[in-house]
Chains A and B, each alone.
Chain A
Amino acid sequence: MWTWFHQLASPPTFYRFAEVLAPWLFGTSVMLLAVGLYGGLYVAPPDYQQGDAFRIIYVHVPAAALSLSVYTIMAVAGAIALIWRMKLAEVAVVAAAPVGASFTALALVTGMLWGKPMWGAYWVWDARLTSELVLLFLYVGVIGLNQSYADPRAGARACAWLALVGVVNVPIVHYSVTWWNSLHQGSTILSAEGMRNPKISGDMLWPLLLCLAGFYLFFGGVLLRRMQNEVLWRERNARWAQQAVAA
Chain B
Amino acid sequence: MNAAWAVFRRELLLAARRPAEWIQPLVFYAIVAVLFPLGVEAHDPALKVFAPAVIWVGALLAALLGVERMFRGDLDDGTLEQLLLAEAPTALLVAAKLAAHWLLTAVPLVVAAPLLGVALGLEPLAVKVLTLSLLLGTPTLMFTGGFAAALTVGAQRAGMLLPILVLPLMTPAVIFGGGAVRAANAGLPFDAPLYFLAALLALSVTLLPFAAAGALRNALE
Contact = CB atoms under 8 A, between A and B. Distances in A.
B33 to A, nearest CB: 22
Nearest to A131: B171
A169 B157 CA distance: 27
Report, as a range, how many residues of chain A touch the other chain.
20 to 34
Interface string B165-183: 1011101100000000000
Given A137-B164, A162-B165, A165-B147, A148 B211 contact: no
B153 to A, nearest CB: 10
Nearest to B166: A141
A177 interface: no
Interface residues of B, number: 24
Contacts of B165: 141, 144-145, 162
A82 B210 CA distance: 13
B156 interface: yes
A141 B165 CA distance: 5
Contacts of A161: 147, 151, 211, 214-215, 218
B161 interface: yes
A216 B64 CA distance: 38
A149 interface: yes
Given A140-B164, A150-B156, 20 more contacts: A131-B171, A138-B169, A144-B161, A145-B151, A145-B161, A148-B152, A148-B155, A148-B158, A148-B159, A154-B218, A155-B155, A157-B218, A158-B218, A161-B151, A161-B211, A162-B151, A164-B211, A165-B211, A166-B169, A169-B168
A148 B157 contact: yes
B219 A158 contact: yes
A125 to B, nearest CB: 10
Nearest to A136: B168
B208 A165 contact: yes
Nearest to A82: B214
A179 to B, nearest CB: 11
Contacts of A150: 156-157
Contacts of A141: 161, 164-165, 168
B93 to A, nearest CB: 18
B164 A144 contact: yes
Contacts of B172: 172
A134 interface: yes
